[in-house]
């Protein structure tokens, strides 16, 4: 994409300033709008710190860092978007607010501009439906922190034109990112497929099979994950993680596979939101006693097998329902949430028949639709097929 192209960003929160930094680093003039003056001031300070930290690590020279900052202009209204060929909305996850924002954008931007939303789980089609020209609306979902995370999900609405899909992919690739294409279904690829990483860990905890420290130990030391599910929920924010789970659950017509956890809901109600509040599943006070895992390899193997099986089943179902290709599903989970390997590759290594048997054993024990096996896995096992 031509670096003379102007980029607009709506929302100066963490994602907004991250996307602005990515676009400015690629050489674009960026207009960053937020209607809250205090948010703009705080965002400007954070952005400056982020860029200066990169310079201190010798990844940029001081002139390069200054040039990136100089390309970003904070705006108190959206008038500057009149010259923008792409505007990315990155405000709170509220459908009504997003639709209202897009209504305002359509009045300002040129008719040739692409309007994108960074939503992580809301319907792109619903957002587009409120626009006069829905064919130019598309989902461009970055992951946090946007400057560091390589993956970007491109999600067309039903109304999105093929030209806009291609343009969105080309723009993001020109920024040095890797794109995957996802159908407009709840959670898209990553936030859909990753749900069992949290929900099944919570289920194991609530059943009393193991404490959260043991589950985290098993998933890191035996499963190869960089963070355990409880560490990661604390890092993301219990409120944020719970809201995504709740949204996906409601959007899937209350499918029990995505049912939220009371344990997590109670943490949110208590204000124990994780690292940002000083306490979540873990207590982050410097004097707090750290919970010790039970380092039992047999128990750890059972924990990893159960959670990974649920993850591979969810990944296979995403392919079965044409949410994305098998290649994009595996790419999304390795680049988007740093899984140690692609889940469908993992299913091949475990053995498709073994995955099916484990799912069926869980279903036979619990008799819950939560543990239904993907039809794709069952078909592949019958035909002795592999994903790769």
100 is catalytic: no
Let me know if 174 is a catalytic residue: no
Q: How far apart are CA 84 and CA 2, in angstroms?
A: 12
Which of helix, strand or coil describes residue 166?
helix
Question: Distances in Å between the alpha carbon of 185 and those of 230, 259, 287, 335, 378?
Answer: 26, 17, 44, 20, 23
| From 153, 200, 231, 314, active-site residue | 153
| 6-10 and 84-89 strand pairing | parallel
In 3D space, the residue among 284, 326, 312, 325 whose CA is nearest the CA of residue 223 turns out to be 312
CA distance 340 to 13: 30
> What is the C-alpha to C-alpha distance for residues 142 and 270, in angstroms, rounded to an integer?
30
Q: Of 28, 89, 106, 120, which residue is the catalytic one?
A: 120
- Put residue 351 in one of left, alpha, beta given phi > 0 → left and psi -120 to 50 → alpha: left
Q: Is 120 a catalytic residue?
A: yes
Secondary structure string (H, E, C) spanning 111-130: CCCEEEECCCCCCHHHHHHC
Residue 231 falls in the annotated catalytic set: no
Give me the long-range contacts of 313-317 (CB less than 8 A, separation at least 24): 313/196, 313/355, 313/359, 313/373, 313/374, 313/377, 314/192, 314/193, 314/195, 314/196, 314/257, 314/343, 314/374, 315/193, 315/343, 315/344, 315/347, 316/344, 316/347, 316/374, 316/376, 316/377, 317/374, 317/376
Catalytic residue (one of 113, 118, 121, 191): 191
Query: For the CA atoms of 199, 366, 185, 32, what is the dihedral angle to 10 degrees?
Result: -10
- CA–CA separation, 290 and 352 (whole Å): 38
CA dihedral 131, 20, 10, 128 (to 10 degrees): 20
Beta bridge partners of 72: 30
How far is residue 174's CA from residue 3's CA, in Å, rounded to a whole number? Answer: 10
Q: What amino acid positions are annotated as catalytic residues? A: 120, 141, 153, 191
């Amino acid at each position: 994409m031509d670096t003379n192209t102007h980029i607009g960003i709506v929302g100066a929160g963490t994602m907004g300033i991250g996307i602005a930094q990515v676009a400015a680093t690629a050489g674009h003039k960026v207009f960053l709008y937020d209607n809250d003056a205090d948010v703009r001031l705080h965002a400007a300070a954070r952005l400056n710190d982020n860029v200066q930290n990169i310079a201190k690590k010798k990844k940029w020279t001081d002139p390069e860092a200054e040039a990136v900052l100089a390309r970003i202009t904070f705006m108190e209204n959206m008038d500057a978007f009149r010259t923008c060929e792409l505007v990315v909305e990155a405000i709170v996850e509220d459908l009504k607010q997003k639709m209202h924002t897009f209504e305002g954008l359509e009045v300002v931007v040129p008719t040739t501009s692409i309007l994108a939303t960074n939503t992580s789980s809301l319907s792109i089609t619903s957002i587009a439906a409120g626009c006069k020209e829905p064919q130019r609306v598309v989902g461009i979902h970055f992951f946090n922190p946007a400057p560091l995370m390589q993956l970007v999900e491109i999600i067309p609405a039903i109304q999105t034109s093929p030209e806009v899909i291609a343009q969105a992919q080309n723009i993001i690739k020109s920024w040095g990112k890797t794109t995957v294409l996802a159908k407009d279904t709840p959670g898209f690829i990553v936030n859909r497929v990753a749900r069992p990483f949290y929900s099944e860990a919570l289920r194991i905890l609530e059943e009393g099979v193991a404490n959260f420290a043991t589950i985290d130990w098993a998933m890191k030391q035996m499963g190869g994950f960089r963070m355990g599910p409880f560490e990661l929920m604390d890092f993301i924010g219990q409120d944020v993680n719970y809201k995504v789970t709740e949204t996906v659950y409601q959007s899937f017509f209350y499918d029990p596979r995505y049912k939220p956890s009371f344990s997590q809901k109670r943490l949110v109600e208590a204000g124990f939101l994780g690292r940002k509040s000083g306490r979540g599943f873990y207590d982050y006070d410097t004097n707090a006693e750290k919970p010790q895992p039970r380092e039992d390899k047999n128990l750890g193997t059972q924990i990893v097998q159960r959670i990974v099986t649920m993850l591979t089943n969810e990944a296979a179902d995403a392919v079965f329902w044409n949410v994305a290709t098998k290649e994009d599903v595996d790419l999304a989970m390795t680049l988007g949430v740093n899984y140690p390997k692609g889940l469908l590759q993992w299913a091949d290594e475990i053995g498709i028949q073994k995955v099916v048997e484990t799912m069926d054993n869980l279903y036979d024990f619990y008799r819950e639709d939560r543990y239904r096996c993907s039809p794709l896995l069952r078909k592949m096992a019958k035909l002795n097929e592999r994903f790769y």
